[in-house]
A = this chain, B = another copy of it.
Amino acid sequence: MDLEEFRRHGHALVDWLADYHKTLAGRPVQAPTRPGEVRSILPAEPPEAPEAFEACIADLETIVAPNLSHWQHPRFFGYFPANALLAGVLGDLVSTGLGTVGLSWQSSPALSEVEEVVTDWVRKMVGLSPQWVGVISDTASTSTLVAMICARERTTDYGLAKGGLQAEGRPLVVYASAGSHSCVEKGALLAGFGRENIRMVPLDDRHGMRPEALQELIEQDIAAGLRPCAIAACVGGTATASIDPIREIADVARRHGLWLHVDAAMAGSAMILPECRWMWGGIEGADSVVINAHKWLGAPFDCSLYYVRDEQHLMRVMSTNPSFLQSSVDSHVRNLRDTGIPLGRRFRALKLWFLIREQGVSGLQARLRRDMANARRLARIVDATPDWKVVAPVHLQTVCIRHEPGDKAGDALDEYTRVWADAVNRSGEGYLTPAMVDGRWMVRISIGAPGTEWADVAAIWAAIQRHASASLKHAPPSLEAAGR
């Protein structure tokens, strides 16, 4: 492909994307794809000779788009908003097109310094003190693993430089909110702690971690000869967007010298709203915080921000300095390679830089406020509807609901909940994610795709009622029996 062809095909693809977004609202939100369907269309062998690029473009409309669940769709209410705002999309195009790789500062000075500046912008936007330093990574899962490893190394006084976790006597213990994301347990397991040394701290009736239960678990472990090491708390838990009391947890962490990691992957975006900052009150007492700019804020995936108070510690744990990466300016610059697991990095800061500038802080704030108002409005309507319940506090943009007709309870209610959610998803009218809370299934309505207005929320609510009612009447075969 020469540069004139690149221009031509590039324009065509920009137009294809614009058309895709234009027609998005008319597409089924959940892919109607059967397992293996896409694989069966594609050739099993790579092409020996070049194909015309037009064929690739044509496959987008016939093979790719019909077999995607559309995260940017105005009636996408699944998982979490993973917004790819258009200014960010264009920023990312430039990043890819420049083809520059951040290995050392010298290998791409603008990449390093724009990342420094933009992560500092976000620090200010969310109200963190100047003691915090941020870096961009791919996902919160990765940052959480890094946090677990950094906690491990602080407690063991850099055991990695000696015998590692294999030479420590008393086992180290990690404490996680029972409402925390699965990546916390996974991070602790990958870091070598072992499942026997992970405690899930019980929640209160609003699904926040109980600090006194945390304190109790720590004391028990100390009495048993173990070494408490780290606490993972969350602001905006995955299932219900629940909130752990960070200030009280930070007090416990300080008292016992534990690392406190706060997962604000989803809710961190809302901290750009001063009225939401109570949710992480006491955050200055944490050691690390993760905020996914690729979620509600709108930077295209992946763009996760990891903030730490002790950057030197992070670099001591993560640094590498082989000869081929040394440059004559090393002592004058910050080498981002020493802040995470991958050595190289994309110019991810570019999409975040473009996004914040094109939207302005005020523009980002207005969109988030729109989504929160829509969530509150929906919650009021659901609460006022007979047999329907909002099953968790609506702090942000996630509304957790259940239909509880008189004759359904226990496992039958669980089955019914999953059946009607699946019916909504299969209809293509909206995408919902069922999840468990207090041992029972409910359905999350996660509001906040870029184009989601009140009319879309009203439409999914109507669809939910309709499909729930039909599921009650027709008593469809159970999910298992239907093989779905």
Contact = CB atoms under 8 A, between A and B. Distances in A.
A92 B186 CA distance: 29
A461 to B, nearest CB: 20
A105 B35 contact: yes
Contact of A71 (B100, B106, B342): B100
Contacts of A475: none
Given A36-B113, A341-B145, A10 B162 contact: no
B3 A46 contact: no
Contact of A46 (B38, B83, B124, B192): B124
Interface stretch (A248-256, A356-364, A378-386, A464-472): A356-364
Contacts of A92: 92-93, 96
Interface stretch (A134-142, A207-215, A307-315, A388-396): A134-142
A166 B162 contact: no
Contacts of A356: 46-47
A201 to B, nearest CB: 17
Contact of A110 (B33, B433, B482): B33
A interface: dominant SS: helix
Contacts of A141: 341-344
Contacts of A161: 189, 194-195
A90 B56 CA distance: 10
Contact of A35 (B100, B192, B333): B333
A457 to B, nearest CB: 20
B79 A103 contact: yes
Given A68-B110, A114-B64, A120-B44, A50 B163 contact: no
A472 to B, nearest CB: 19
A160 interface: yes
Contacts of A397: none
Copies in the complex: 2
B84 A89 contact: no
A168 B166 contact: yes
Contacts of A408: none
Nearest to A64: B110
Interface string A186-208: 10011111111100000000000
Interface in A74-91: 78-79, 82-91
Contact of A160 (B39, B149, B189, B433): B189
Contact of A142 (B6, B70, B341): B341
A301 B111 CA distance: 14
B171 A167 contact: yes
Contacts of A84: 96-99
A452 interface: no
Contact of A195 (B47, B83, B164): B164
Given A238-B324, A329-B35, A90 B9 contact: yes
Given A3-B21, A6-B14, A165-B164, A50 B359 contact: yes
B484 A121 contact: no
A473 interface: no
Contact of A166 (B194, B326, B436, B484): B194
A157 interface: no
Contacts of A39: 113, 116-117
A301 B101 contact: yes
A22 B69 CA distance: 38
Given A17-B94, A90-B6, A159 B322 contact: no
A124 B92 CA distance: 31
Contacts of A21: 3, 6, 97
Given A33-B109, A56-B357, A301-B344, A323 B436 contact: yes
A441 B90 contact: no
Given A31-B108, A71-B99, A71-B108, 12 more contacts: A39-B113, A49-B363, A50-B362, A53-B354, A64-B110, A71-B101, A83-B99, A138-B138, A162-B194, A164-B171, A324-B433, A332-B483
